[in-house]
Chain A
Amino acid sequence: MNVAEALQIVTRTDPGMVRAQNEDAVLANPLRGFVVLADGMGGYNAGEVASGMATTLLGTELEKAFALRPPSARVDGGKPWAHVGIEAEIARANGAIYQAAQSQPQYSGMGTTLVMGVFHDNTLTVAHIGDSRLYRLRGEEFRSITRDHSLLQEQIDSGMLTPEEARHSQNRNLVTRALGVDPTVEPEIRDYEVRVGDVFLLCSDGLNDMVEDEEIAMTLSALSANLDLCATQLIQMANDNGGRDNVSVILVKVIGDFGSPRGLRSWPTRLLAWLK
């Protein structure tokens, strides 16, 4: 099955109940099997500009990159093309946003978080920067795949705060990495094995700050048969709980196997498959 047939994808973004503007941006390319979500920051409409630039640039450039070569192809001594392509295009988008912020005063200091996923050969390559998240529902198990690049997460990691205490912190929404705020950026890029039946959720903090993880998990497992309704319900829950921030979700449900045809597989993949 090709990736376009193997995935159901729904994207949704909403300004929430308080903000006049929506500084989030979402993008899906079902044909190439990738999704991008960005939560912009910066005064006036600069946040919108940053997140819009991120999704548009990555959408356009990754389309070209993956048309040229499949994401699971090995390059540069065994690295998957997904990683090489994502790294290069994130660096390029970072440079473009940074340049715009430097050259135009109204965009000064703008930046954006980023979370994105590329589905290829029964694998999900996830890249993220900042506190937008990617969650996975697999059977009964729901967990965050990404770990926020935020002050709170660092404090939790160092043992200063327990996750429970972090909920009462006054230092929410402080990200330690963002796209476009410095000349260079370091994305976190990792691969995850994908199984038929998995449901992935990419979201901005407008969802996970307003809705408990347990509620998100239950909504996903209750409504995964209808992703449109699931997205509507998630956004409605964030808004019913106050909707203090823009809220965006991308849902991806895996309905089929999308392993590469044998002949196209790289030798390490073939070797692994043979050993199994």
Chain B
Amino acid sequence: MDKAKLILSMDGLVLKEIKLGKERMTIGRKPHNDIQIDNLAISGEHAVIITILNDSFLEDLGSTNGTFVNGQSVKKHFLQNGDTIELGKYRLKYVNEVAQQTPAADFEKTMIMRPGAMRKAAEQAGNKDMDTQVGMQIAPNAEAHPPTESVAPAVAATVVPAAQPTLPLGSIQVLSGANAGRELELVKTVTTLGKPGVQVAVIARRPQGYFITHVEGANFPIVDGKTLGAEAHKLEDNDVIELAGVKMQFFIKR
């Protein structure tokens, strides 16, 4: 909990480092504040920082001159490592060492949080600000998108947001049948091809390249004249795929 700190500076001069050792740290001009900044541009009770375990939240307490984070006026702000809080001429840089060490595997481990401790933390942080809680959307945003970019009935495509935008982009060009000449860019993590219920294959976009796998149907896809098994098969540039009676070519665009 005391890993997060603030670095107070003015005109580029570091004045002091302040550890966020308490769950609630007040900032203001009056002496009873945890962080006192004796300057007329700062309100008596200017702002508060609430720290819950590894997260810190900044809240303006209705100050006269306002609280700014990275140049933006804020009422309430979830602090991220490196954020700069501006109060008048003063700067408070938020440094969270935990955030910097995020890749450590141990940090990812699931841990139990005792309800007693948590409730206390939540109460300290949450109760102050009931007005901002109204109308908050809490439902997970998990809408399924309808399949798009369908290359006509013969070739249906299912679309997933691309996970690795830096990978070379693969594409499928239909060579035979009613859709000959149509092209389908393989921008998604998984793209299905074929006729549902008859024969379907999936092309998975992975860091190692594109892989085709049989999904359903009695017939398996044919790649460059060879019938595939149940295993995933890595596609090479210019491979010709035969699926549900349609020939198509895989190629790398860039």
**Interface of A toward B, CB cutoff 8 Å:** 18-19, 39, 41, 111, 113, 130-131, 135, 137, 140-144, 151, 154-163, 165, 168-178, 181, 205, 209, 212-215, 217-219, 221-223, 225-226, 229, 233, 236-237, 240-241, 244-245
Contact = CB atoms under 8 A, between A and B. Distances in A.
B145 interface: yes
B241 interface: no
Nearest to A165: B78
B204 A170 contact: no
B190 interface: yes
Contact of A144 (B102, B118, B140): B140
Nearest to B200: A225
Contacts of A241: 163
Most buried by A among B52, B144, B164: B144
B68 to A, nearest CB: 19
B112 A178 contact: yes
Contact of B112 (A111, A168, A212, A245): A111
B160 to A, nearest CB: 4
Given A41-B111, A178-B112, A225-B215, 7 more contacts: A151-B52, A154-B122, A158-B126, A160-B125, A163-B138, A176-B115, A222-B158
B160 A171 contact: no
Top 3 A-B pairs ranked by shortest CB distance?
A159-B133, A170-B54, A218-B160
A177 B113 CA distance: 7
Nearest to B162: A215
A221 B144 contact: yes
Interface in B110-134: 110-113, 115, 118, 122, 125-126, 129, 132-134
Interface residues of B, number: 59
Nearest to A20: B105
Contacts of A212: 161
B201 to A, nearest CB: 10
Contacts of A142: 142-144
A240 B206 contact: yes
A233 B202 contact: yes
Nearest to B211: A236
Contacts of A19: 105
A141 B207 contact: no
A194 to B, nearest CB: 18
Main secondary structure of the interface of A (DSSP, over half): mixed
15 contacts: A142-B144, A144-B142, A156-B138, A159-B126, A168-B78, A170-B99, A174-B53, A176-B113, A213-B140, A215-B160, A218-B189, A222-B191, A222-B215, A226-B216, A229-B213
B72 interface: no
A240 B163 contact: yes
A27 B46 CA distance: 55
A170 B102 contact: yes
B96 interface: yes
A162 B137 contact: yes
Contacts of B66: none
Nearest to B56: A170
A63 B34 CA distance: 59
A80 B176 CA distance: 57
A13 to B, nearest CB: 15
A137 B160 contact: no
Nearest to B158: A222
A170 B105 CA distance: 13
B57 interface: yes
Contact of B142 (A157, A158, A213, A221): A213
A173 B202 CA distance: 33
Contacts of B213: 229
B161 to A, nearest CB: 6
A166 to B, nearest CB: 9
Interface string B74-115: 000010100000000000000010110010010011111101
B188 A218 contact: yes
A40 to B, nearest CB: 8
A130 B215 CA distance: 34
